Amino acid sequence: MLKTISGFDRIGEENAFAVLARATELAGQGRDIINLGIGQPDFRTPDHIVEAAIKALRDGHHGYTPATGIAPLREAVAADLAKRHGVETDPGNVLIVPGGKVTMFMAILMFGEPGTEILYPDPGFPIYRSMIEFTGARPVPVPIREENDFAFSAEETLSLLNEKTRLLILNSPANPTGGVTPGSEIEALVKGLEGHPHVAVLSDEIYSQMTYDGMEHVSLLKYDSIRDRLILLDGWSKTYAMTGWRMGFSLWPDALADKARKLAVNAWSCVNAPAQFAGLAALTGPQDAVRDMVAEFDGRRKVIVEGLNRLPGVSCRTPLGAFYAFPNIAGTGWKAKKLASALLEEAGVATIGGPDFGILGEGYIRLSYANSTENIKIALARIEKFLEQ
Ligand code: PLP
């Protein structure tokens, strides 16, 4: 019997990929499946970004790059952060990574070990808890509540900190809820964190450009008092419809930047070179495609929320960010995972059961509206018919 480390007895995964596999299998059998399960934009990567990658290959950029990423791209990231958040950062603290997920992997590996605690949002992106468990640290869920419009509460978060806490993970705009935490709450949290200087913060801002109804995304980067322990996670996947390119970036505080670089050298050497040139074109080129995509998501958001609220036993808050709706389905009498599974198998609509995002996800399902308005309407009609049966 091969004996691996005990972390593998505890590591989890992301059920969205299992749902995607089952949806693809059913579609392969000739079933008509509408996929509202997976969280990726249904748009093509804008042409000028694709062309930049092709040009990079033609120009001979097919070798290793510096482990931290090509210099112009790190500078472009710093310029982008300055433009969007009004904050100066050193390109030397930017790390280009193969996908947004990699930053959470690195940050959790850096801080988790038995005897320590890491706080993470519940419901939240499943990899947070999975990786915390892997390291042997104690995962401490921070409840994300519907009655709070799925924003996190500064008071509740602060009440969970203690001397064993090493890392606090925050995510706004959030997956799976679409919740956006208002600036006032973030400010209160930062104020409280000033009394806990041993706690590092990982702010997952991968949906930073996707907010609606005038809701402002407030980056944790804005707060000087925690800059020396803030790890910022962002990337290209959602903003530029580039999930398959595997392009993300992080900003590390001085004390951690070299540790992060060493992890990169040990694990992947560098991100693939032409993809980095594509990322550069994305940040420095026209941003119309981003605005158009967000406007399109906004329209679909209204359609899906209105449609969900018409369903028997279902109520849905209006999400203010990302591209997910997280309706409360308690009134249908179904358990969330059973409902998600029945909707896929019987109604041909892929969704994800709330418990795949944490214990507090029971009573909810997640629907991604990264699909056409037409498909969303058909999916809603199918769900309605199914629930009325
Ligand atoms: N963080 C959150 C909250 C996400 O929802 C996702 C993807 O779904 C990621 C990070 C990872 O993004 P990437 O595909 O760039 O690894």
Mutate to test the pocket of ligand 1, among 101, 106, 250 (most ligand atoms within 8 A of CB): 101
Q: Residue 16: pLDDT above 90?
A: no
Other CB atoms within a 10 A radius of the CB of residue 62 amount to: 11
Residue 326 CA to ligand 1 centre (angstroms) = 17
Find the mean pLDDT for residues 53-79.
Answer: 98
Is 95 in the same domain as 186?
yes
What average pLDDT does range 78-92 have in this prediction? 98
Could you tell me if 297 and 249 lie in one domain? no
- Whether residue 55 is contained in a domain is answered as no
Q: Where does residue 333 fall: left (phi above 0), alpha (psi -120 to 50 degrees), or beta otherwise?
A: left
Cα 201 to ligand 1 centroid, rounded to whole Å: 17
Ligand 1 mean position to 385 CA, how many Å?
Answer: 32
The confidence score (pLDDT) of residue 84 equals: 97
CATH number at residue 92: 3.40.640.10
What average pLDDT does this structure show over 169-197? 98
pLDDT confidence band for 154 (50 / 70 / 90): very high
129 and 145 in a single domain? The answer is yes
Mutate to test the pocket of ligand 1, among 106, 209, 238, 242 (most ligand atoms within 8 A of CB): 238
30 Cα–ligand 1 center, Å:
30
In the prediction, which pLDDT does 1 show?
85
Q: How far is the CA of 224 from the centre of ligand 1 (A)?
A: 26
**Mean per-residue pLDDT, 83-110:** 98
DSSP 163-194: TTEEEEEEESS-TTT-----HHHHHHHHHHHT
Residue 371 in any domain: the answer is yes
**Interatomic CA distance for residues 51 and 28, integer angstroms:** 32
Write down the pLDDT at residue 389: 86
Number of residues written out for the chain: 389
Distance in angstroms (rounded) separating the CA atoms of residues 114 and 123:
23
Q: Give the atom of ligand 1 at the shortest distance from the alpha carbon of 204.
A: 1
- Around ligand 1, the residues with Cβ closer than 6 Å are 39, 99-101, 125, 171, 175, 204, 206, 235, 237, 243, 248
- Same domain? For 153 and 98 the reply is yes
Does the predicted TM-score (pTM) go above 0.95?
yes
Last residue of a domain, one of 266, 284, 302: 284
pLDDT of residue 339: 97
Q: Is residue 2 part of a domain?
A: no
Atom of ligand 1 lying closest to residue 243 CA: 14
| Same-domain check for residues 318 and 201 | no
C-alpha distance from residue 221 to each of 16, 89, 253, 265 (Å) = 30, 9, 11, 26
What's the whole-number mean pLDDT along residues 295-303? 97
Atom of ligand 1 nearest to the CA of 14: 8
The mean pLDDT of the chain is 97
For residues 208 and 174, give the distance between their C-alpha atoms in angstroms, rounded to a whole number: 9
Whether the per-residue pLDDT at 38 is higher than 90: the answer is no
Residue 127 and residue 365: Cα distance in Å, rounded? 18
Contact between 281 and 60 (Cβ < 8 Å): no
Ligand 1 center to 243 CA (angstroms): 9
Judge if 163 and 205 occupy the same domain: yes
Average pLDDT over residues 299-328: 98
Q: How far is the CA of 333 from the centre of ligand 1 (A)?
A: 31
Residues 136 and 279 in one domain: yes
pLDDT band (50, 70, 90) for residue 132: very high
**Which of 237, 240, 271, 324 for mutating ligand 1's site (highest number of atoms within 8 Å of CB)?**
237
If asked whether residues 212 and 317 sit together in one domain, one would say: no
Amino acid at 127: I
Residue 267 and residue 325 in one domain: no
- On whether residue 256 sits in a domain, the answer given is yes
Report the domain count for the chain. Answer: 2
Please report whether residue 54 resides in a domain.
no
DSSP-H helix ranges across the chain: 7-10, 15-28, 47-58, 71-85, 100-111, 126-135, 154-159, 183-193, 254-267, 273-284, 288-310, 336-342, 373-388
Q: What is the CATH number of the domain that holds 346?
A: 3.90.1150.10
Residue 143 lies in a domain: yes
Q: What is the pLDDT of residues 245-290, one digit of tens each?
A: 999 999 999 999 999 999 999 999 999 999 999 999 999 999 999 9
Phi-psi region of 253 (alpha: psi -120 to 50; beta: other; left: phi over 0): beta
Last residue of a domain, one of 261, 284, 307: 284
Radius of gyration of the chain (CA): 21
- pLDDT at residue 332 is higher than 90: yes
Which atom of ligand 1 lies closest to the CA of 101?
Answer: 16
Which region among 13-22, 78-87, 299-308 has the lowest average model confidence (pLDDT)? 13-22
pLDDT score at 39: 87
53 inside domain: no
Q: Same domain, yes or no, for 131 and 196?
A: yes
Question: Are 278 and 336 found together in one domain?
Answer: no
Tell me: the pLDDT tens digits for 225-234? 999 999 999 9
Select from 251, 284, 317 the last residue of a domain. 284
How distant, in Å, are the alpha carbons of 31, 44, 45 from that of 244? 25, 11, 10
Atom of ligand 1 nearest to the CA of 124: 3
As a whole number, mean pLDDT of residues 305-321 equals 97
pLDDT at 119 over 90: yes
* Mean pLDDT along residues 181-196: 98
360 alpha carbon – ligand 1 mean position (Å): 20
Gap from CA of 380 to ligand 1 centroid (Å): 26
Same domain, 266 and 331: no
Please indicate, yes or no, if residue 58 is contained in any of the structural domains.
no
Residue range(s) defining the domain that contains residue 379: 7-44+288-388
Strands 117-122 and 138-143: parallel
